[in-house]
Amino acid sequence: MSILDRFTVTDHVAVVTGAGRGIGAATAIALAEAGADVLISSRTEGQLKDVAARIEALGRRAIVVPANLARTDEVAGLAQAAYDAFGRLDIVVNNVGGTIPNAFLDTDVAYLEESFHFNVATAHALSRAAVPLMLASTGEGRQKSITSISSMMGRTAARGYLAYGVAKAALAHWTRLAATDLSPSIRVNGVYVGSVMTSALEFVAGVPAMKQQMEEATPLGRIGEAEDIAAAVLYLSSRAGQFVTGKLLEVDGGIQEPNLDLGLPDLVPGGLPVETPS
């Protein structure tokens, strides 16, 4: 087998969440280009159909399942839907997630719990439903892998990201623990994602000074692309990564601290925020 052959996932079946755009869409298309059939899911059916058309143009099959992926029953149901449609399940990509930045005093318990639910509980629900079906999908040379999309905010700190960062840190450690539970049958890995030009950062493209600030604060001098993350997921899902489990790849342009300052003010005695001198 050539080294390039190790990056193929021919005739594997994958589920990718949050696949209507951004990292999820790029990942689904990358897996299809490498030979997989893919079930894709998000809220917006129109976006999914566009991604499905690109998958089918590559000669692979695509199943579109619009769903509210904040609901654990709906996200868990994707595993059975893929198995019923394709007759097997080999790869799961837990991409759906995210939390809007919030100041500390605005981050109540409910907000923290909601972030944990959307970023961690959903990944667990899909993975737990998928594991029996993955184990039932036999075949020589088949890779069985789960990859979750975490964030560099799960390993570093900046103001405003408490709920999001805590949830992504939990997802990262979930990855390590799940890998231990599921070895040697299923590999479980994740990606610490840096700043990537997806819909969440579209506002940056319209503010040249902010974009320049982020680029200059990134050692590689640019904001990432969705395909940068998709390539990492393909590596972890394929035979190229068959000796890797319980690991988080840092695909972040080399940053060691956040490259976007939200400008949240200091707090002073009495609980009143004051602007930090520039």
* pLDDT of amino acid 221: 95
Whether the predicted pLDDT of 277 surpasses 60: no
Read off the tokens for 168: 């992504």
Separation CA 93–CA 272 (nearest Å): 43
* pLDDT of amino acid 5: 95
Contact 145, 237 (CB under 8 A): yes
Active site residue 164: yes
CA dihedral 85, 87, 91, 92 (to 10 degrees): 40
Of the given ranges (159-163, 200-204, 216-220, 237-241), which has the lowest mean pLDDT?
A: 200-204
Separation CA 151–CA 144 (nearest Å): 23
Mean pLDDT of the chain: 93
The whole model's pTM is what? 0.93
> Which of these CATH numbers, 3.90.550.10, 3.40.50.970, 3.40.718.10, 3.40.50.720, describes 4-251?
3.40.50.720
Spatial CA neighbour of 174 closest among 76, 237, 248, 105 = 248
Of the given ranges (5-9, 117-121, 204-208, 217-221), which has the lowest mean pLDDT?
A: 204-208
- State the Cα angle at 266 between 261 and 272, rounded to 5°: 135
Q: Can you name the residues that pair with 187 across neighbouring β-strands? A: 145
* pLDDT of amino acid 142: 87
Q: At what angle do helices 22-33 and 226-237 cross, to 10 degrees?
A: 50
The percent of residues above 70 in pLDDT, for the chain, comes to: 95
Average pLDDT over residues 255-262: 86
pLDDT digits (tens, 9 = 90+) for 15-58: 999 999 999 999 999 999 999 999 999 999 999 999 999 999 99
Q: Which of 83, 161, 164, 235 is catalytic?
A: 164
Q: What is the CA radius of gyration of the chain?
A: 19
* pLDDT of amino acid 274: 62
pLDDT digits (tens, 9 = 90+) for 91-146: 999 999 999 999 999 999 999 999 999 999 999 999 999 999 999 998 887 899 99
DSSP string of 135-202, one letter each residue: HH---TT---EEEEEEEGGGTS--TT-HHHHHHHHHHHHHHHHHHHHHTTTSEEEEEEE--B-SGGGH
Average pLDDT over residues 191-200: 87
Residue 211 confidence class, pLDDT cut points 50, 70, 90 = confident
Per DSSP bridges, beta strands 248-251 and 266-268 are unpaired
Contact 164, 155 (CB under 8 A): no
